[in-house]
Structure formats: structure tokens, C-alpha cells
Structure 1
Amino acid sequence: MRSKIIKAALFLPISVLITACNEMGHKSEHTTSQSADVQVVIRGYESFPTAEGCESGGMSLQKKDCYLLPNGTMGKVVEWNKKYTTKGSVYAPMDMFDQSKIQIINGPAAGKTLFVAHAYLTLQ
């Protein structure tokens, strides 16, 4: 099943892939430790020209609290996902769809705190 998701990643929007991961039981977990004022640059993933962030965690195609984030949007990590802060089993092709809580610094969503998939984040 994982290989099908990886192959699908080349053709489907990231929100569809995150929904598929969630439905397979792969849930995003958050922790309040390790925020440490880290700045990130938000960029589209692979061939997608823009990123997205949502006010609530997790992903569903039915969500109505999401914003498009232009490439180059700057953010500050408020809360790293548990996968970054605790030792455990990781599988990067699926874990990249987990989300961390990011305070948006510039652009149209400036001032909002949004959950953004790891695939969109690059350390500054």
C-alpha cells in the first residue's frame, strides 16, 4: 500500500495524499516541546506551485479553514510534530505529510497560526 501512495505522490494534490495517509491510520501527532523560535520558508512540494496551511490539524478534503501560502512565505515554528521531537519509527514518504504548527510571518496569511505539512517546510 505504501508503494501505491508513493507512486500517487507524483500525480495527486498533497491534500489528497494526506487524507489517504490519515485514512490508513497514519495520524499526525503534536508536542509542545521544541519550538525554539526556528524560522522556516514555506514552498510548494514537487510540481505544486503553492503550499497550504489550515487552522486545524489533520487533513480532510472537506476542511474549510485552509489558506494558500505563496512560495517564499516565512514562518516561525510554534509546535513541532512529535515525529521531529521523539525517537520512534519513521517512514519519510508518509511522515512528510504530517503537520507542524507554524506562525505565518509574511504574505497574505501573516499573523495566522496554521498547521503546515512537513513537505512544505525548509529551515531558514
Structure 2
Amino acid sequence: MYQYSLNGEFITEWNSIVDASIKYKCSSSCIGQAIFDRTPSLGYLWTDYKYEHIDLSTFHIDENKTKCYTYSVEGKFIKEYKSIHDCAKEIETTAGNVANAIKGKYLIYKTYYVSDIKYETFPI
């Protein structure tokens, strides 16, 4: 089994899906399903055949991403993100925290509201 960056660059070869799932502390089915569906899992692309550089057009990379938007404490729009993961990375928190903030409409770090709906002003 082979692991690639989301840019299609080869990272490493694994002896099995189980080995990779142990390393990343996830269910082996999340990687197996990603191979079958040709979608990202854990921030990587996975294949059962080794390519020097994979053709990204054969993968479904952006289809399952949830766009999200950050807002100030006052509710003013700050920035749009392609995904919850991208937002989490930039504001230095976890994707889980961002997802929970979206559901619960609470502040992250007493600084950001996050929504999966774009507002002119966030409804506080």
C-alpha cells in the first residue's frame, strides 16, 4: 500500500493497511475505503499500486470538503476556507474543535466564530 501527499507526491510504502492505521491511530477501514473510493483520508491519498506521481484528476479530493468561514468576536467576516481542516490548520486548532464550534456557535480561543454558512455579519 502506498501513501501520497494531497499534491500527488509519493511519501512512503506500507506493508499493509493495518500498519498504516496503527501508525495513524485510526480504523483500517478509513484507509481501505479511501483506496477504494479514491478519496483522501487522514490528509493523504492512498493507493494499492505504486505511482511515481499520481494523476490528481483520478481522485475525488474536494467533493467532501465543507467550506467554512471565520468571524471576529463582533461578528465581522474574516476569511473563507476550502475545508474545516484548512481553517483548523490556520487558526492552530483541531478540525474537531472547528466542527464543534460550527455546531455550537461558540468562540474558538475567544477570538473566532466559525460557520459553514457565509454571513455578511455572524448572528451572535
Provide the TM-score with structure 1 as the length reference: 0.26
Structure with the higher strand share, 1 or 2: 1
The structure with the larger Rg is 2
Structure with the higher helix share, 1 or 2: 2
Provide the TM-score with structure 2 as the length reference: 0.26
Q: Quick one: higher RCO (CA 8 Å, sep 6+), 1 or 2?
A: 1
